[in-house]
């Protein structure tokens, strides 16, 4: 295990490890204006959602690592306390990357990157028409973490209006994850794409308390044929099957390899049936 003390390495080195390890990160494609009404559009991957009431998004236009200078987005939100955060999907990722160029102040990245500017309804910065999820925000607070290169500037935003493309909605008006194609930032030049082939579901343990891995019988918990993920799924059952259920299964099946059957059932998400098969072995 490589151990890094942030005090013993340079800022660029620590920057590399943080970006490469804390990943993937969603991208805040932030539209802002200065006091003269000039528009800036720039992406930031130090970003996430932090609350629902009020709806709260936070992103950080860090000081530049090389010289500690500030970015136009930060200067703009300090001058004018509004921002539009546009989410990025695969269809716009190359244009988004182009908008990250360090153009001179006053240059409109909407024009440079070929995006369509739409008027927002409650704030002055424009929306990106090509974005499939857009949040109009008021900037509530900006927290500076320092003046050296790489220092964070936490821009705390309250969402006051949200827009979602019909392309990503189901018949109930909810976002259908299988219709999305979001991209996220990794380290250096790397991105990742979150679309249908790469998505998977993990049942939440919020409805009940799972028995936990520690309650799994030793013959299963210590079996090296089960991965940590498989043990976690087994531990997310509320109670073990009854002895009668196990007996009835053993009596009614001609299955010879109960363990293999248990793994097969577990892979399909049928946790209780998997438990019965494992306990029958």
Domain boundary among 173, 198, 223: 198
Q: Band of the pLDDT at 138, cuts 50, 70, 90?
A: very high
Q: In terms of residue numbers, what domain contains 230?
A: 213-280
In whole angstroms, give the CA distance from residue 198 to residue 180. 11
Q: What is the pLDDT of residue 19?
A: 95
Percent of the chain scoring above 90 in pLDDT: 88
Task: Specify whether 147 is located in the same domain as 268.
Answer: no
The structural domain count of the chain equals 2
Task: Specify whether 149 is located in the same domain as 221.
Answer: no
E-state strands within 169-210? 182-185, 191-194
Domain boundary among 148, 166, 198: 198
Upstream peptide bond of 33 is cis (omega within 30 degrees of 0)? no
Task: Specify whether 191 is located in the same domain as 252.
Answer: no
Average pLDDT over residues 239-255: 87
Q: Let me know if residue 206 belongs to a domain.
A: no
Task: Specify whether 25 is located in the same domain as 164.
Answer: yes
Domain boundary among 175, 198, 221: 198
Average pLDDT over residues 150-165: 97
Q: Let me know if residue 208 belongs to a domain.
A: no
Task: Specify whether 263 is located in the same domain as 180.
Answer: no
Q: Let me know if residue 181 belongs to a domain.
A: yes
Task: Specify whether 108 is located in the same domain as 218.
Answer: no
Percent of the chain scoring above 70 in pLDDT: 99
Q: What is the mean pLDDT of the chain?
A: 94
Q: What is the pLDDT of residue 64?
A: 92
pLDDT by residue (tens digit) across 32-56? 999 999 999 999 999 999 999 999 9
Task: Specify whether 36 is located in the same domain as 85.
Answer: yes
Q: Let me know if residue 205 belongs to a domain.
A: no
- DSSP string of 58-77, one letter each residue: EE--PPPTTT-PPPHHHHHH
Predicted confidence (pLDDT) at residue 264 exceeds the cutoff of 90 = yes
Q: Are 44 and 27 in contact (CB under 8 A)?
A: yes
Predicted confidence (pLDDT) at residue 255 exceeds the cutoff of 80 = no
E-state strands within 60-188? 82-86, 117-118, 127-128, 133-144, 153-164, 182-185
Task: Specify whether 224 is located in the same domain as 188.
Answer: no
Task: Specify whether 177 is located in the same domain as 251.
Answer: no
Q: What is the pLDDT of residue 163?
A: 98
CATH classification of the domain holding 177: 2.30.110.10
Q: Let me know if residue 1 belongs to a domain.
A: no
Q: Let me know if residue 80 belongs to a domain.
A: yes
Average pLDDT over residues 135-150: 96
Q: What is the pLDDT of residue 39?
A: 97
Q: What is the pLDDT of residue 89?
A: 98
Q: What is the pLDDT of residue 265?
A: 93
Q: Let me know if residue 207 belongs to a domain.
A: no
Average pLDDT over residues 101-105: 92
Residues, the chain: 281
Give rounded-to-5 percent helix, strand, coil for the chain. 30, 25, 45
Q: What are phi and psi of 65, to 5 degrees?
A: -60, -40
In whole angstroms, give the CA distance from residue 152 to residue 15. 12
Task: Specify whether 263 is located in the same domain as 150.
Answer: no
Task: Specify whether 168 is located in the same domain as 218.
Answer: no
Q: Let me know if residue 260 belongs to a domain.
A: yes
pLDDT by residue (tens digit) across 185-230? 999 999 999 999 999 888 777 567 899 999 999 999 999 999 999 9
CA count, 13 A, side-chain hemisphere, 258: 18
Task: Specify whether 60 is located in the same domain as 164.
Answer: yes
Q: Are 161 and 148 in contact (CB under 8 A)?
A: no
């Amino acid at each position: 295990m490589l151990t890094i003390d942030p005090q013993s390495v340079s800022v660029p080195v620590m920057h590399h490890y943080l970006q490469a390890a804390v990943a993937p990160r969603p991208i805040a494609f932030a539209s802002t204006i200065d006091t003269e009404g000039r528009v800036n559009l720039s992406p930031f991957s130090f970003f996430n959602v932090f609350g629902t009431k009020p709806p709260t998004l936070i992103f950080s236009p860090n000081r530049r690592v090389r010289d500690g200078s500030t970015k136009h987005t930060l200067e703009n939100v300090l001058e004018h306390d509004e921002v539009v955060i546009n989410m990025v999907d695969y269809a716009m990722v190359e244009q988004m990357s182009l908008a990250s160029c360090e153009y001179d102040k006053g240059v409109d990245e909407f024009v440079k990157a070929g995006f369509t500017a739409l008027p927002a309804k409650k704030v002055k910065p424009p929306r990106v028409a090509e974005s499939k999820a857009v949040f109009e925000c008021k900037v509530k607070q900006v927290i500076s973490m320092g003046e050296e290169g790489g220092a964070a500037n936490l821009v705390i935003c309250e969402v006051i209006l949200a827009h979602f493309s019909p392309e990503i909605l189901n018949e109930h008006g909810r976002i259908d994850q299988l219709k999305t194609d979001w991209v996220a930032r990794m380290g250096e030049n790397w991105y990742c794409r979150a679309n249908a082939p790469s998505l998977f579901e993990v049942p939440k343990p919020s409805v009940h308390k799972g028995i936990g891995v520690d309650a799994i019988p030793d013959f299963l918990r210590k079996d090296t044929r089960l991965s940590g993920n498989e043990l976690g799924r087994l531990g997310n059952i509320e109670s073990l099957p009854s002895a009668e259920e196990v007996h009835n299964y053993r009596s009614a099946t001609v299955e010879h390899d109960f363990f293999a059957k248990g793994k097969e059932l577990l892979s399909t998400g049928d946790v209780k049936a998997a438990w019965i098969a494992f306990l029958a072995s």
